[in-house]
Amino acid sequence: MTFNLLANAANIVFICVIVALLVAFFVWSFISNKKKQKNFNDTINAVKPGSKVKTIGGVCGEVVEIDDEENTFVLKTGTSDGSGVSYLKFDKQAIYQTDAKPEPKAEEPVKEEKSAKEEKAEEPFEEGKTEEKPAEAPAEEKDEKKE
């Protein structure tokens, strides 16, 4: 009878461990996907005229114009010598690859509160008021004086 209780307890623990691992996997997957989506959106928003783009349909070219209201861009395709140039309008979500890099966000400097000692040390010296400490003689000179 005690063997059955131990076997049931082991099964319950095993099931709890499996459920915990599954929950951890789904949470990690969700966070990872959110991060990838945010990076992709930042890259798409960094596209500006002059950026090289490849669409999900395989069309490669250079961005000529961006319309943020319609969420579209105009892509110039063709050869580099100028012959056979065409302009195509795409939705921004059609971007598959680009050479545009999102600008790093500037972090605001954190203001630290200064202690009274630090504030005192940073006060400028007043004119005519200097405190000088006597210079100590090097260790070799001290030994010579004692002898």
pLDDT in tens, 4-22: 766 787 888 899 999 999 9
Whose tokens are 């012959």? That residue is 83
Burial (CB count within 10 angstroms: exposed 0-12, middle 13-18, buried 19+), residue 73: buried
With contact defined as beta carbons under 8 Å apart, do 34 and 23 qualify?
Answer: no
pLDDT at 124: 52
CB 52 within 8 A of CB 33: no
Residue with tokens 């940073």: 122
Q: Average pLDDT, stretch 37-46?
A: 90
pLDDT of 100-115, one tens digit each? Answer: 888 776 665 555 555 5
What average pLDDT does the chain have? 78
| Helices and strands in the chain: count of H runs, count of E runs | 3, 5
* pTM of the full structure: 0.53
CB 61 within 8 A of CB 77: yes
pLDDT exceeds 70 at position 143 = no
- Strand-strand pairing, 95-98 and 52-55: antiparallel
